[in-house]
Structure 1
Amino acid sequence: MNAPASLDGNKAAVRDQFPGLPEGWHYLDSAATAQKPQAVIDAITRAYAHDYATVHRGVYERSAMMTQSYEAARSAAASLIGGKPEDTVFTRGATEAINLVAQSWGRDNLKAGDRILLSTLEHHSNIVPWQMLAREVGAIIDICPISDDGRIDLEAMEKMLTEEHRLVALAHVSNVFGSILDARTATQLAHRVGAKILLDGCQAAPRIPVDIGAIGCDFYVWSAHKLYGPTGIGALTSPLLSDMPPYQGGGSMIDRVTFEETTYAPAPTRFEAGTPHIVGAIGLHAAVDWLREQDVLNLHRHESGLVAFAREELSRIEGLTLYGSDDSAGIVSFNLDGVHGHDVATILDDAGVAVRAGHHCAQPLMDHLGVSATVRASFAAHSSAEDVAALMKGLEKVKRIFG
């Protein structure tokens, strides 16, 4: 196994920043959730220990300072993807962000007979909210097929789209294949028929440079925990917020409340009912700063190199099926003939390798592939050729045990 030297070039400098990665443990499940660098952990600890106060309410100094930090985090979240802070709402994650769009913009704009276009490879979080909305308003859901190498088929999408389509919702990067959508072309196709487009950026934001201004999409969502930040916070960025009604009521999101009538705060505040995840926003900001220090484009090249190396090594294993494209963004999915993915993952765990096995919250895609599950290895900034070597060694053990 001869790995390119570049795949280990950042190993010591980056891996040592992650206290959750002990020597001899190979974490290949970053697509599920990323490990946290010390800089993020320190920011969260400092926010709870020394800086903590509520935001947007107190007139005392610490509250004002925390409010400034919270709004600075909003600016960081927006700028990471080329958006504007006034167009950015903090949510509990991408799942809540998609539900927000469905229940606010969707309820206000979709009616019986309107069509929604999804794709075969979508995460459940980009399927179920639209099914719930479609059932409520009488809309129809269409499914765009994927190509043999796991990409959303944009030629098929162009042929499927009609003026009845009001919304297109697609993954920017597949959480199973790592395949990258040509987001600008997809946006142009949607807009050509007058449809809005939402992009699920959960796997894209941590892995590839994103510029929603250049893409031109209408909604972009992502989660902090996949981007080296804390759980429980994510973001929705959309230039349409000012025209959308709130979908939750409570404190903070109001202008004036009487028993006769309530008026709402302007966007994005009207979408953040209740006390927000203040420290989560601080951690998100630290994660964005850390990611930028590493340079997202360099990380993409690093992870793509690991994918190419891993696919080359995995292709040598007899009876192993690889899914997706050769140039995926940091993710490799595969199956071993005659061995369930859960068994593969269990044996790999014994060998010190952590991978995901299952349907990856993409059961329709598993049905399309004709399998119940796949094994998924996903890379991150701290990953190296040593992780690939450990994966290969663990798979040799799987082969020995199952003959």
Structure 2
Amino acid sequence: MTGPASDLPEIDGLLAGDRPDPGTAELAAAALAAGLLDAGALAFGLSGIPFAVASAAGLHLLICALVGLWVRSRARRGRDLRLAGLLLVTIVPLGPLGAACTLATAALLALFSRYATGFQDWYLSLFPDSETGPAQELYELIVTGRENAHLVAGESFTDVMSVGSPQQKQAVIALVARHFRPAFTPALKAGLADADPSVRVQAATATARVEHDFNERWLALDHAAQARSDDAASLAALARHLDDYAFCGLLDANREAEIRDKALDGYRRSLDLAEDDDGIRLDLGRLLLRCGLAAEAAARLEPLVDRTSDSRILFWFAESLFRLGHFAELRALPVRRPDLLGGGAALPDALRDVFALWRDDVPGVVDTAGKELVA
């Protein structure tokens, strides 16, 4: 027998993957007694004595009821019910064979639990706490081979998932789960398709964890938005979260479209409440373009063209004009805002020649192209 009930963990504190605490002597005695009694009832039923079958059936039901009362007493004492419940659910249809199977399960548990890792310990080892000391942080950087990769280098993660060892891949997946960004999605998908089963399991667990975190945050923001339906900031926060969720790359096409529609509705409602919020207007215009609604995107962004100091708004507005085929307005845009799109503006390398072309700065573009051809 194990110690008193007060020394045992509460059932509510047990996780589904915890190792059962059978109370070995008590369980073995109950299973053995139930099995022997049920075997005797079965033998009596097969003896051919008149009314033996009915009597054996009655004895079987009585034994099952006694087992049920024993399981109930264990519940009241706070004992683990999993193996006791196994005895109850197997002895009803299988009789003495169910008791024998329960005893075999308890024996195998006692054998393998000496060196097996519990599910909770295994799960926690996959995703340790994000607040790590310098030594642990250095270890992670050495294992992955990418300094600060978990913050800035999604491509490096994908490289490690392609050519790294199982230990390196597991380290990458753990970092991705803790510091998830949409750029890390290819690394997770590579883990899901990896040949190593341990890597696939960890990647699937990490994916489920990321989706769980998104959904938990969604519920919290949705509750706040419903409580303050006239607060533009709450609605915008919910819409941005849904926008990020749709953009993470982990959803199927239908689910992604559904969430983007919800994000669009949230942006529109929040912009109706705060028409002067340039950030909401930019987020709405960007999402409208991604959804193929270029006309509405241009209409939403156009009021900002003359007053904004954020060149990103002009980039998205120019994209909407291009998709609509409004090339005259697109050519006039650099003239309209020369401080952000003119020849002296600080533009990204990928856009400098593009806007030079639309500004009719043909000589500069031609000279650049000619130098590249000669090189």
Q: Same fold (TM over 0.5)?
A: no
Bigger CA radius of gyration = 2
Larger strand percent: 1
More helix by share: 2
TM-score of the two chains, using structure 1 as the length reference: 0.22
User: Taking structure 2 as the reference length, what is the TM-score of the superposition?
Assistant: 0.23
Which structure's relative contact order is higher, taking Cα pairs within 8 Å and 6+ residues apart?
1
